[in-house]
A and B are shown apart, each in its own frame.
Chain A
Amino acid sequence: MPIKFSGDFEVARTPEEVFTFLTDPNKFCPLLPEFKGMTVQDATHFTVKVNVGISYIKGVADVKMELAEADHPKRAQYKGQGNVAGGGATLVAGFDLTPTPTGTKVAWQGEAQVFGRLTSVAGGLLEPLGKKQIQKLIDGLQHALQNSKEKESEGIAS
């Protein structure tokens, strides 16, 4: 069952700054929930290791990520595919950036889907858990953008 998500937030950064942040795997990927590490293949392809766990199914998943769209400074979209114990997962997450008088409105939307035995074993837990993880990602992104701004204003290199 696909888990669809969307929302938006505003941040006091220019669209260019937000776009640069979003399209830099080294900055974006650590925001993924349960991030453990990553390997960069090229500017748009990288593999992220994340901890996964639902109930007694626990493990580390290798998620192959691709920066599928990068329309500077308006839109970025990531696509990911990973294998986890007893199943697989796909993720599509897009970010549309619109300038506002005080910064940038980040409208996010996407779809995550889990396949395989996990769907049976985890059952109804998947959707709330998926939404929770996505909210964590968005909260992390919002916080990181805000935090990096504060660090810059304090003269600390991000």
Chain B
Amino acid sequence: MALTDTVAPAKAGAHQSDLIAQDIEAYLHAHEHKSLLRFLTCGSVDDGKSTLIGRLLYDSKMIFEDQLAALEADSKKVGTQGGDIDFALLVDGLAAEREQGITIDVAYRFFSTDKRKFIVADTPGHEQYTRNMVTGASTADAAIILIDARKGVLTQTRRHSYLVRLLGIRHVILAVNKMDLVDWSHETFDAILADYRAFADQIGLQGFHAIPLSALKGDNITAPSPNTPWYAGPALMPLLETLEVEDDLQEKPFRMPVQWVNRPNLDFRGFSGLVASGTIVPGDKVKVLPSGRESTVQRIVTLSGDLPRAAAGQSVTLTLADEIDVSRGDVLAAAGDPPEVADQFESTIVWFDEEAMLPGRPYLVKLGARIVGAQITEPKYKVNVNTLEHLAAKRLELNEIGVCNLSLDAPVAFDPYADNKDLGGFILIDRLSNRTVGAGMLHFALRRSQNIHWQALDVNKSARAALKGQKGRVVWLTGLSGSGKSTIANLVEKRLHADGRHTYILDGDNVRHGLNKDLGFTDEDRVENIRRVAEVAKLMVDAGLIVLVSFISPFRAERRLARDLLEDGEFIEVFVDTPLEVAEQRDVKGLYKKARAGQLKNFTGVDSPYEAPEHPEIRIDTTAMTPAEAAEQIVAWLDGDQGDYSI
């Protein structure tokens, strides 16, 4: 190819220059309203990626004469096009890389047309550089995946597509390059397309554009090529100019991580940050997370005056109507639709460091404007990015991707990455080297019961129990309201206390005044009621206490949950067996009467079921013995062979 052919002026730029020359003000006005598209190019070393970027820069007239002169000289010296212009030389940067003829890092390029400004992240296609591609992909609105038409869908194509999908890039363009080398064959293009579509379906990549092109010759770059009459779609540049970048972020609920507390003097206290999603106007109610405090936005302060409204993507400073505690790292969110707060998550982690990720090792997590200590569990699996297979793994090595649970030292506000990249994407920092060793995407919070990490303590349960000369136990009394649970528990505690035992009573009514006062009597609330009590009882057993729990606890499943929290032999279920008629007849608190009158909903035995224990450790028949005799029976059981409570 002769040089003169290559440097013919690009058609797209021509009318722009006319406007610049004739009416610069009109041009500036038009360009003031340009939008911005960030895109990523991925492909293997020989797919012609650098050539494509060079071509885009060249065709959008972003190459100046002096650069062109240098390019011509360089092309002759180190070019791979036999003395013709080597567009790849325009974008390969560092000297060492240039000699090797490869790009080894993420490089950012800029060009603009009359419709858009573009930022291109150029990332390498090498096996070992997943890290760079993930980095480039994290900020991209679109991705161009290059395929060499002669080679079709390769392993690298699959890997790049998987990463693009993983990072949640919205638009994917499959650029089938070097079509000139396959004689512009429609069949070849269709075969590649079908191949790729099958793969895209497999990874859940919904919708992509495919363009047959030649970056070297300039076909289907700025205008439809005469060589592909069978292709009816847009050329690459027009497509890039029209992809939708105003995504739905502004439609989502308001979120703003607080970066900086702005306090110029005692009369002003503002919270500065970039709005991650949604919109905000003065008067909107906001919640501060993780504290949960609420206030109202008073002003949106900027240098050029207060704003009536701010939206996702803007950096602002907000003031609130109330003096509440807000610090760097907190999240301001729509009060009516706040994000979750949690400290345990499932996440996908991409490892960047030579030193492998070790489960249980303390790292730092940066999420939004927050940095917290974190530990990662053993991966549930790692992903072979070439085959998408899930593989068992004990650790993650450089460039490996795995699904792991993440445990933070403090609760944080978050959204799943799929909903909000700013509230769901995080980096991992090594505490010693300070290197950024990985990045991850939060999926969801784990239920608190699925704690994955316990602080290792030197003084443990048996040490505490030994000091007290007893073994920690939970004596769990279950039965209908009015069956006599509290009375019996009280008597048992008196006996044990007199014996020098360390005890505590968790009583249903008392706990509902404090710990569980936010709970009602629906089935859900009853479950939560028992779960909390069981957790508290467990802590007390850990402290070495004998805990007497006096709760109706009507559901077998929840009593089972309490039993499962404890070690074998620590949970003693006592069924305080009183027939409904007897309990109702006693009606010490007058509750049955109210329930029968319909004044009390969900009352156990009346309009809510009681599931009697099938195999309690102790059964107390209150129709056959007094409370004192019942207490005696329990103490005897604890004292006896089966339940020796001393060590």
Answer yes or no: do A and B interact. Answer: no
Residues in chain B within 8 A of chain A (CB atoms) = none
